[in-house]
Structure 1
Amino acid sequence: MSVSAAWAGAEHLRKIELADWQREIVAEYPEQLLRGLFHSDGCRFVNWATKVTADGGTKRYEYIRYQFWNESDDIRNILTDALDLLGIAWRRPRMNAVAVSRREGVEALDRFVGGKS
């Protein structure tokens, strides 16, 4: 990654972008980039939610989710660009976070990211 300013300073305040040769590698191997990003600034966990049932009760359900946190817009955009390359749906639940919660996306990430070891 090239940085337009000096290396000193907070990461999220610097411009971070991939060089052309790096973009070529990511286009060919987006899985490896995603694995590294999720293992450095993300996690895989069981999320839960409740839903009101027709009879007025509540039902709790659980599902696996991947979440990534980083204060840098540039790094989050690198991550979401790689997810887009693979057709993996994502959303931003918070300004500094990216989440993959849909079953198909989680199953895809499980094939090459998985839990941290």
Structure 2
Amino acid sequence: MVTMLDVADVTAGACCAPLVREPLGAADAEQLARTIKALADPARLRLLSIVAASADHEACVCDLIEPVGLSQPTVSHHLKILTEAGFLTRSKRGTWAYYRLVPGALDRVAHVIAAP
């Protein structure tokens, strides 16, 4: 015996709410992924946090080595990645490099993924 089933017409209307803002394009998504990837490391997050918590949002590389428990070359590598991603700026004073938080850098990432 064959039983007939009622089938709803799914083409009659949209099942989802309309977008309320423009979504990321492919190029912007690629750039954002590279930026977020720079944050996706516990050591880099700690370094960024230390710089952000320092006076004037600036710290010498010599003050960043001990708190994260990594070698100076490793810390410098992580700082380079954060600088290339636009989270920090670097200035040289004598033999030391100083890193400063870029104003609004974290806000820009949060804005893209935050609800409107």
- TM-score interval (norm. to shorter): 0.3 to 0.5
- TM-score normalized by the length of structure 2: 0.36
- TM-score normalized by the length of structure 1: 0.36
Q: Which has the higher strand share?
A: 1
Q: Which has the higher helix share?
A: 2
Choose 1 or 2 for highest CA Rg. Answer: 2
